[in-house]
Amino acid sequence: MRRLVRGLTSLIALTGMVVAAVPSAGTTTGTTTGTAADQPEFPYQPTTYTEPYRGQFHFSSQGGWMNDPNGLLHHKGTYHFFYQHNPHGLGWDTMHWGHATSTDLVHWTQKPIALEPGVHPGDLWSGAGVVDAANTSGLREGAEDPLVVFSGTNGVSVFYSTDAGRTFKAYDNGRKVVTMPGTSRDPKVFRHAASKRWVMLVWSDEGGNGVNLYSSPDLLDWTFLSRYAAGWLFECPDFFALPVDGDRRGTKWVLTDASGEYVVGDFDGTTFTTDWDEPQRMDHGTNHAGGSFYAGQVFNDMPDDRVVQMAWMGGNQGATWTGNASFPAVLGLRTTGDGVRLTRQPIKELEKLRYRTSSWRGRGLTPATAAKLLRDQSLDTYEVEAEFDVRGATAERFGFKLDVRPGGDAGSEVLYDTRARTLMSAPLEPSRGRVTMRILVDRGQLEVFGNDGLASITRNVAFDPRADSRGVALHVEGGGVRLVSLRIHELAPAWGMGEPTLEHNLPGQWRVVSGSWTDVAAGKQGSAGGDAFYLSDHTGADFTYEGDVRLVDGAAAALTFRAGPRAERHYTANVDAEAGVVKLWRPGRDIATYKAPIKAGRTYHLKVVTQGRSIKVYLDDRAEPVIDAKDDQYASGRFGLNVFDGTAQFQNIRVS
């Protein structure tokens, strides 16, 4: 059936056949072409994220293929990372928008698919997304700010979420809000504060490569502003303002393309101008589609003034996934002898993963002393920070060999060439007589930053996964050089922290105590004959604890609180379809019930308010409690979920 739908979609695309009457332009807002709530692609095949080559601190899709980062945005403490995604195979095909979230840009949680062909209309190719906090679009439906994302080829379609990114709807059946002659794609949208308007850039090949700029008051109606044409500017444009040398008075605009080429100039709200004749490269990996650095995008709506970028690293594959993202980098502009240049540096949140650091200071290195220094190191994923003084250096080359095997062979080298003045072939002048290297080594990903991000080299490396292939060596060739300082930080894996589909605000981990619990697009689903408990590590005494519960079938679904670690003790407030009640109980005692016609398939909002012995239970939006009881058996304990004799789903679990 799904294949048929997809087949039909491509047939329509091929023949231009229209099968249903489409509402005329602009007449309907909020048309639901579908939601992603019933995706068979989710959950993905399980993984522990420990496979060889699987980035331990680089994001990859749990399963399937990924290419470009899309719709990067921050909303109320959560970073959203969408990506070009084929969940059905390891190669590029039928583009979906995959989705992951993070609260710190380091630990990512896989989420259900956000945009899917057959559910969401059009070619779901690359684009950006914004938070419409002021509801300029009028798309808000409830308490949440609309998240508005842009996709489509040869014309831009709008998709939006009114539930904080869980599901997306097509605006006006995917009507193209912008079209232009030629081949076009990859809309980038952002808020332009100075002109108080939204601005969109779309790449197109009309009369040669270039971008069209548009503006809008409401994200839906767009007016053409100008075109910036340049032969080098091919797909996935990005456009952002940065202070030069950190000075906000000297802000400049940077225009980039998919390969990471960029020019620096000015933007007056209508036109981009630059006096650069030639673009520069922000990265010196392999900068083409499928290479090691492509289609970078910066986050919108950052909670601070950083400009943070993630790009597509295409060269990595495991048994169940292909591709990953570069580690988030902060971008900057710095004045150099050659003019203003873009810098890339890993975000400071990387420090969260450091768990063991070894340091060395002040050594004059020769080839022999360098080779000895790190002889005992065996490392899996790590970060190197090194500073060398090159004044008076006689070494021709110096740096590190990575993935060193017992025989001395290395999987990769990070070397500075003192004559050519290059770091891994990327031009890099010493700065005040110093060369610094910051190196991120993951299982198949290597990122190197020279002189505080002036040189950036992003590479996919198939590091040998065997345990005896984890050496790292300092390497000096043809003379001497002074090592000012060296620190090696071992990095912990960033996976395994979050709940894929359960929206909740409890700190810490959830654990299955009994029954079986799985992730479905609607939230967390529990099943059991008898009682099933899913408990958070988080504990509390007096609180408001609430959430949405829905019985799929069976007897009762409930919120559990003040529980012991194995639910050997607990209070539980349920909706019970068998008895037709809301019930508060603890092991061995039904404390109170309230008659209510509880049905499977309907979502109930349960809320528990405790204060010492007082336990009140609220149902849906009623102002008065349906149960107002006193019990002093348990004073505090864990929060959790419970199902009795059947299957139930839980969502939006909050404690305050």
DSSP per position, 212-275: EEEEESSSSS-EEEEEEE-TT--SS-EEEEEEETTEEEEEEEEEE-TT-EEEEEEE-SS-EE--
DSSP 12: H
Q: Whole-angstrom Cα distance, residue 109 to residue 125?
A: 22
The answer to the question of residue 114 lying near ligand FRU (CB under 6 A) is no
Q: Whole-angstrom Cα distance, residue 521 to residue 523?
A: 6
Closest to ligand FRU by CB, 67 or 110: 67
Closest to ligand FRU by CB, 258 or 435: 258
Tell me which of 35, 39, 62, 84 binds ligand FRU, using CB under 6 A: 84
Output the smallest distance, CB 126 to ligand FRU, in A.
3
Tell me which of 126, 157, 381, 652 binds ligand FRU, using CB under 6 A: 126
Tell me which of 41, 68, 403, 503 binds ligand FRU, using CB under 6 A: 68
Output the smallest distance, CB 83 to ligand FRU, in A.
10
Per-residue binding string, ligand FRU, 155-194, x by CB under 6 A, is: ------------------------------xx--------
Q: Is 409 a catalytic residue?
A: no
Closest to ligand FRU by CB, 289 or 609: 289
Instruction: Please name the residues in contact with 75: beta carbons below 8 A apart, sequence gap of 6 or more.
Output: 131, 145, 147, 164, 165, 301
With contacts defined by CB under 6 A, how many residues of the chain interact with ligand FRU? 14
Is residue 524 within 8 A of residue 503, CB to CB? The reply is: no
Output the smallest distance, CB 640 to ligand FRU, in A.
41
Tell me which of 33, 60, 67, 326 binds ligand FRU, using CB under 6 A: 67
DSSP per position, 291-335: SSSEEEEEPBS-SSS--EEEEEEEEEE-SSEEEEEPPPEEEEEEE
Q: Which residues pair with 638 in a beta bridge?
A: 539, 563
Give the residue among 312, 282, 286, 284 at the shortest CA–CA distance from 297: 312
Q: Whole-angstrom Cα distance, residue 394 to residue 408?
A: 24
Residue type, 294: Y
Q: Whole-angstrom Cα distance, residue 114 to residue 127?
A: 13
Tell me which of 65, 82, 125, 571 binds ligand FRU, using CB under 6 A: 125
Output the smallest distance, CB 68 to ligand FRU, in A.
5
Closest to ligand FRU by CB, 202 or 472: 202
Q: Whole-angstrom Cα distance, residue 100 to residue 459?
A: 23
Is residue 491 within 8 A of residue 382, CB to CB? The reply is: yes
The answer to the question of residue 373 lying near ligand FRU (CB under 6 A) is no
Length of the chain, please? 656
Closest to ligand FRU by CB, 262 or 644: 262
Give the residue among 309, 272, 274, 308 at the shortest CA–CA distance from 293: 309
Per-residue binding string, ligand FRU, 206-235, x by CB under 6 A, is: -----------------------------x
Output the smallest distance, CB 255 to ligand FRU, in A.
16
Q: Whole-angstrom Cα distance, residue 283 to residue 342?
A: 10
Query: C-alpha 237: how far from its chain's center?
Result: 19
Instruction: Please name the residues in contact with 20: beta carbons below 8 A apart, sequence gap of 6 or more.
Output: none
Output the smallest distance, CB 321 to ligand FRU, in A.
16
The answer to the question of residue 95 lying near ligand FRU (CB under 6 A) is yes
Residues 603-632 that bind ligand FRU (CB under 6 A): none
Closest to ligand FRU by CB, 186 or 503: 186
Instruction: Give me 157's structure tokens.
Output: 């379609």
Q: Annotated catalytic residue: which of 68, 132, 238, 576?
A: 68
Output the smallest distance, CB 232 to ligand FRU, in A.
15
Residues 236-275 that bind ligand FRU (CB under 6 A): 236, 258
Output the smallest distance, CB 295 to ligand FRU, in A.
5
Give the H/E segment covering residue 370. Answer: helix 367-373
Closest to ligand FRU by CB, 292 or 642: 292
Closest to ligand FRU by CB, 314 or 523: 314
Residues 271-310 that bind ligand FRU (CB under 6 A): 289, 294-295
Closest to ligand FRU by CB, 295 or 522: 295
Residues 11-40 that bind ligand FRU (CB under 6 A): none
Output the smallest distance, CB 71 to ligand FRU, in A.
12
Q: Which residues does the annotation mark as catalytic?
A: 68
Q: Which residues bind ligand FRU (CB under 6 A)?
A: 67-68, 84, 95, 125-126, 185-186, 235-236, 258, 289, 294-295
